[in-house]
Structure formats: structure tokens, C-alpha cells
Amino acid sequence: MSTKSIGAEYLKGLWDENPVFRQLLGMCPTLAVTGTVITGLAMGLATTFVLIFSSLVVSSIKKLIPAQVRIASYIVVIASFVTIADQFLKAYFYPISKAMGPYVPLIVVNCIILGRQEAFASKNSAGRSLIDALGMSSGFILALLVLSTIREILGAGTFLGYQIMGAWFKPWTIMILPAGAFLTLGVLLGIALAIERKTMRN
């Protein structure tokens, strides 16, 4: 049972336990849909939806589920909310859904979500689990926004589709390619660790 204050419970997801930069989870979607800010944002919001509702449901029914079948149960819960998110996007945001391809259904195997159910929601109250889910989601969205902003601005000269770099700028096409995603995330991880070490030394 966690004993942190509400504020700390939320904030840990942003930096100390940031799912992407510190826990190294959920990297598949982080690399795949951050070519543009709009898809990165859509992924972040979809994952947030799944994480929040899965955590709420799991922490509410945790006492009813025998330990042996908990993973299977969590998976069914998570998969259901992912399906809902996918259907919703297809119905109301069709172009974005097409741009994201198979990666919305892939939220079901985003280690962040199953990880939080196992590590937190199954051991804490619904209220706390909600705060934890919000914190982790915020951290995830933060990571997605940082990565996609860098990739879109440097790779296409645009932000959210709006041209922001002048004609003098020749886009670094590699940024939109898979290679660019790997390289950028690698460098960002290095920077995150370097900052961490510095603050630890002080």
C-alpha cells in the first residue's frame, strides 16, 4: 500500500518514475507514432484513457480475482478499453486513426499499462490508482510530446502541420524515418540520465 502524499503520487510519473525515460517501458508506440505531434498526442491521450479506466476497474475488483488468473483478467480488461479507444478513433477521428495504423490496438501490449496494474492498481485503492494512472499518463504524454516535437520540427519543419521553419530550412528527413526515432530517443535517454546524475551529486 503506497503512503505517498497525493501530490507526490502524481508527480512521480512525470520524472522520477517516468515510464519512458526512466522505466524504459512503452517504447514501441513512443518510437512508432512520434513522427508528427498530432499522432504522438493522439497516442498519448488514447493510452491515458486505457490506463485510467483499466486502473480504476482493476483496483475496484482486485479482491474478487484469484491470484492465479489475475494477469489474464487484467489483460481482458485492458484489451476491452483498447478496443473502445480504437473504435472511437475510427468513428470520430478517421484520418488520425488511419495515420496511426496498427499502433492503437497495440496499446494492449504497452508494458506501461499491464505494469501499472501489476505494480500498483492491484495493491492500492481506486482513488490512489487513479492518481497514479494520471501521473504515469502525464509522464508518457510528456515523453511523446518531446520526441514528436523534435522529430516533426527537424524532420518536416512543421508543428501540428503548421509550417514554422522558414524556407531556408532543409528538413532532416532522417528524423521522420525509423532511424531518426531510435537516435532521438537514445540521445534523450542519455540526457535524462545525465541530468539525473547531476542532481544526485548535488
Site residues (CB under 8 A) for other proteins?
24-25, 27-29, 31-32, 35, 64-66, 68-69, 71-73, 75-77, 79-80, 82-84, 86-88, 90-92, 94, 98, 101-102, 105-106, 108-111, 114, 155-156, 171, 173-174, 176-183, 185-187, 189-194, 197
CA distance 188 to 20: 10
89 vs 131 by CB, closer to other proteins: 89
Q: Which is nearer to other proteins, 62 or 128 (CB)?
A: 62
Nearest-approach distance from CB 8 to other proteins, in angstroms: 25
Q: How far apart are alpha carbons 53 and 62 in whole angstroms?
A: 14
Give residue 59's Cα distance to chain centre. Answer: 20
Q: How far is the CB of 7 from other proteins (least distance, A)?
A: 28
Q: What is the DSSP code string of 33-77?
A: S-SSHHHHHHHHHHHHHHHHHHHHHHHHHGGGS-GGGHHHHHHHH
Least distance in angstroms from the C-beta of 120 to other proteins: 16
Q: In 93-177, which ranges are continuous DSSP H helix?
A: 94-100, 111-116, 126-156
